[in-house]
């Protein structure tokens, strides 16, 4: 079997040739986003990646004498490398459904909303969205559900819509960034070859300070504002309580999950155990909901079994009488992760072709001369991640490209993969929502009815995170280098 590395008969691609697949991808993504909008991830982006994979492969075979067999091997190797991540994503889908239907997430939301007051509205909004996003692993779901309700409360209390949207987005993306249930978190860790929980723990050194600064700003802004009452939020809370059995015993599930994470238990075991516990809680505390999901009139064992399995694998919709609440409790299960899994597989095909052709090596060699020192390396990664967010208009593709481009550079300079995975998330995940034509920016602007450029100045967490990543590189805090050939 041939090696994936370039053979003696292959030619090293030029920089101009290596840029062709990237340019093709950017152009196709531009038209795809323009045509499909936020639905681009449902298939359009995947077609773009397969098309650019074909383009890269054709150029490699025609101009660089690279054999198709080698490209195919590289693609298979890439896909094999994310096999664990794909399984984790399926478990995340099952977990998100079971946590919602069991009442775990609704209980957290209900008690979280009790702390709201006009003075602390912005800070509370940020915290609530952060908690929900950590529990669900999805900034989009958080913003599209509780975010809409919080926008209404903010308007009723006289807050500028930019401030309210900024607090919602800041909290939602904090949770999305550090949640083990987040597909972007899994993607960043798997792309760079970093264990999931190690990646999350290392992100805390930049994420927590960024969040504390964000909360400080929102708290000061709240003290400078005079607000109204929270009657609308209380009505939402009562509707939530009417639809679910809100019970503090349900907190056993997140507590147990936290213990497993702290004990560094394998993510697959942790996620499966957590979903199983939530499923048991659903049977105990929400039998009527399981019957409703199953579409059966009697809450017997058969209805419980059917409803629980549908919660794990499929979409669920609970009728609560409150439109915002209906959206909040809707789940997608394992099936809802298929678009992301499909995208990752297609992206791995593109990455494999770029690697086997030598084009990725040519592109990364351009950065090496500017990345001899720690600060320059991290700053270049941040800049590249933000640039890719702007050019590709998709955070998933930007994460994959950033991770693949700099992985070898970090390794050669003696730095741990977790530094790359953290910097990638600091640069890509949180800034995607700040780009008006990015799928995230378009989606959140549409959901919240607030233009991207209006909420952008108030998304303090998203703005601070990339700067915090560079600041920590300057300090060198918790950054280890295996050798000192290139000192900072």
What pLDDT score does 214 carry?
Answer: 96
- Is residue 227 scored above 70 in pLDDT? no
Tell me, yes or no, if the pTM score tops 0.75: no
Q: Report yes or no: 227 and 125 within 8 Å, Cβ to Cβ.
A: no
What pLDDT score does 3 carry?
Answer: 40
Listed ranges 95-109, 236-250, 389-403, 417-431; the one with the highest mean pLDDT: 417-431
Rg (CA), the chain: 23
Q: Report yes or no: 340 and 396 within 8 Å, Cβ to Cβ.
A: yes
Contacts of residue 107, defined as CB under 8 A and 6 or more positions apart, other chains included, come to 244, 246, 247, 248, 250, 251
The 3-state secondary structure of the chain, one letter per residue: CCCCCCCCCCCCCCHHHHHHHHHHHHHHHHHHHHHHHHHHHHCHHHHHHHHHHHHHHHHHHHHCCCCHHHHHHHHHHHHHHCHHHHHHHHHHHHHHHHHHHCCHHHHHHHHHHCCCCCCCHHHHHHHHHHHHHHHHCCHHHHHHCHHHHHHHHHHHCCCCHHHHHHHHHHHHHHHHHHCCCCHHHHHHHHHHCCCHHHHHHHHHHHHHHHHHHHHHHHHHHHHCCCCCCCHHHHHHHHHHHHHCCCCHHHHHHHHHHHHHHHCCCCHHHHHHHHHHHHHHHHHHHCHHHHHHHHCCCCCCHHHHHHHHHHHHHCCECCCCCCHHHHHHHCECCHHHHHHHHHHHHHHHHHHHHHHHHCHHHHHHHHHHCCCCCHHHHHHHHHHHHHHHHHHHCCHHHHHHHHHHHHHHHHHHCCECHHHHHHHHHHHHHCCHHHCCCCHHHHHHHHHHCCCHHHHHHHCHHHHHHHHHHHHHHHHCCCCCECCCCCCC
Tell me the C-alpha distance between 258 and 138, whole Å: 18
pLDDT band at 38 (very low <50, low <70, confident <90, very high): low
What pLDDT score does 119 carry?
Answer: 80
Give the CB-side neighbour count of residue 272, counting CA atoms within 13 A. 7
Q: Tell me the average pLDDT across 314-339.
A: 77
- Is residue 233 scored above 70 in pLDDT? no
Where is pLDDT greater, at 484 or 134?
Answer: 134
Tell me the C-alpha distance between 360 and 12, whole Å: 11
The predicted-structure confidence for 446-476, as pLDDT tens digits, reads as follows 777 788 889 999 999 999 999 999 999 898 8
Q: Tell me the average pLDDT across 180-203.
A: 86
What percentage of the chain exceeds 70 in pLDDT?
Answer: 86
- Is residue 174 scored above 90 in pLDDT? yes
- Is residue 485 scored above 50 in pLDDT? no
Q: What are phi and psi of 159, to 5 degrees?
A: -80, 145
Cα 27–chain centre separation? 24
- Is residue 427 scored above 70 in pLDDT? yes
Contacts of residue 359, defined as CB under 8 A and 6 or more positions apart, other chains included, come to 13, 17, 18, 21, 56, 59, 60
Domain segments of the chain as ranges: 15-81+339-475, 85-336
Mean pLDDT, all residues of the chain: 81
Between vectors from CA 384 to CA 379 and to CA 390, what angle results, nearest 5°? Answer: 130
Q: How many CB atoms lie within 10 A of CB 263?
A: 9
What pLDDT score does 195 carry?
Answer: 86
What pLDDT score does 18 carry?
Answer: 86
What pLDDT score does 33 carry?
Answer: 78
pLDDT band at 162 (very low <50, low <70, confident <90, very high): very high
Tell me the C-alpha distance between 73 and 66, whole Å: 12
The predicted-structure confidence for 59-104, as pLDDT tens digits, reads as follows 999 988 889 999 999 888 878 877 877 787 788 788 878 888 898 8
What pLDDT score does 487 carry?
Answer: 40
pLDDT band at 369 (very low <50, low <70, confident <90, very high): low
What pLDDT score does 146 carry?
Answer: 73
pLDDT band at 371 (very low <50, low <70, confident <90, very high): low
What pLDDT score does 6 carry?
Answer: 42
- Is residue 220 scored above 90 in pLDDT? yes
Q: Tell me the average pLDDT across 248-257.
A: 87
What pLDDT score does 1 carry?
Answer: 35
- Is residue 30 scored above 90 in pLDDT? no
What pLDDT score does 171 carry?
Answer: 94
Structure tokens that stand for 145 in this block: 């559900």
- Is residue 7 scored above 50 in pLDDT? no
pLDDT band at 35 (very low <50, low <70, confident <90, very high): confident
The predicted-structure confidence for 192-212, as pLDDT tens digits, reads as follows 888 888 899 999 999 999 999
- Is residue 372 scored above 70 in pLDDT? no
What pLDDT score does 392 carry?
Answer: 62
Tell me the C-alpha distance between 165 and 161, whole Å: 6
Cα 20–chain centre separation? 28
pLDDT band at 107 (very low <50, low <70, confident <90, very high): confident
Q: Report yes or no: 398 and 432 within 8 Å, Cβ to Cβ.
A: yes
Q: In terms of Cα–Cα distance, which of 406, 269, 344, 272 is closest to 81?
A: 344
Tell me the C-alpha distance between 132 and 107, whole Å: 10
Among 166-180, 217-231, 298-312, which is the least confidently predicted range? 217-231
Q: Report yes or no: 94 and 23 within 8 Å, Cβ to Cβ.
A: no
Q: In terms of Cα–Cα distance, which of 151, 160, 148, 77 is closest to 351?
A: 77
Tell me the C-alpha distance between 404 and 390, whole Å: 18
Tell me the C-alpha distance between 427 and 152, whole Å: 30
- Is residue 152 scored above 70 in pLDDT? no
pLDDT band at 182 (very low <50, low <70, confident <90, very high): confident
């Amino acid at each position: 079997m041939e090696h994936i590395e370039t053979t003696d008969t292959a030619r090293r691609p030029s920089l101009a040739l290596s840029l062709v697949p990237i340019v093709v991808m950017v152009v196709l993504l531009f038209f795809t986003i323009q045509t499909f909008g936020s639905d681009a991830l449902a298939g359009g982006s995947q077609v773009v990646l397969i098309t650019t994979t074909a383009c890269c492969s054709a150029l490699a075979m025609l101009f660089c004498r690279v054999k198709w067999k080698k490209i195919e091997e590289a693609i298979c190797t890439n896909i094999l490398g994310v096999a664990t991540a794909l399984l984790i994503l399926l478990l995340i889908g099952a977990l998100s459904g079971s946590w919602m239907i069991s009442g775990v997430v609704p209980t957290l939301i209900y008690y979280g909303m009790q702390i709201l007051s006009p003075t602390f509205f912005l800070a509370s909004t940020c915290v609530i969205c952060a908690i929900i996003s950590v529990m669900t692993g999805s900034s989009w779901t958080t913003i599209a559900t509780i975010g809409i309700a919080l926008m209404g409360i903010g308007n009723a209390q006289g807050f500028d819509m930019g401030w309210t949207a900024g607090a919602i987005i800041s909290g939602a993306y904090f949770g999305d960034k550090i949640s083990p249930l987040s597909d972007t978190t899994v993607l960043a860790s798997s792309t760079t070859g970093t264990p999931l929980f190690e990646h999350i723990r290392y992100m805390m050194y930049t994420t927590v300070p960024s969040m504390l600064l964000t909360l400080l700003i929102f708290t000061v802004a709240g003290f400078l504002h005079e607000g109204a009452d929270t009657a609308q939020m209380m009505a939402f809370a009562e509707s939530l309580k009417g639809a679910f059995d809100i019970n503090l015993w349900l907190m056993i599930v997140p507590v147990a999950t936290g213990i497993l994470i702290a004990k560094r238990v394998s993510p697959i075991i942790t996620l499966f155990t957590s979903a199983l516990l939530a499923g048991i809680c659903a049977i105990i505390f929400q039998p009527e909901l399981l019957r409703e999901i199953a579409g059966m009139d009697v809450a017997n064992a058969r209805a419980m079994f059917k409803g629980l399995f549908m919660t794990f694998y499929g979409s669920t919709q609970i009728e609560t009488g409150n439109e915002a609440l209906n959206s909040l409790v809707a789940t997608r299960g394992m099936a809802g992760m298929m678009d992301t899994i499909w995208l990752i597989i297609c992206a791995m095909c593109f990455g494999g072709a770029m690697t086997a052709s030598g084009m990725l090596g040519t592109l990364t060699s351009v950065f090496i001369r500017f990345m001899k020192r720690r600060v320059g390396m991290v700053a270049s990664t941040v800049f590249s991640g933000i640039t890719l967010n702007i050019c590709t208009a998709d955070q998933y593709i930007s994460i994959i490209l950033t991770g693949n481009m700099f992985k070898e550079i970090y390794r050669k300079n003696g730095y741990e993969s977790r530094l790359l995975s953290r910097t990638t998330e600091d640069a890509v995940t949180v800034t995607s929502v700040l780009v008006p034509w990015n799928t995230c920016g378009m989606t959140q602007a549409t959901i919240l009815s607030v233009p991207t450029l209006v909420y952008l100045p108030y998304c303090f967490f998203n703005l601070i995170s990339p700067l915090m990543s560079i600041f920590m590189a300057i300090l060198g805090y918790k950054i280890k280098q295996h050798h000192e050939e290139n000192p900072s």
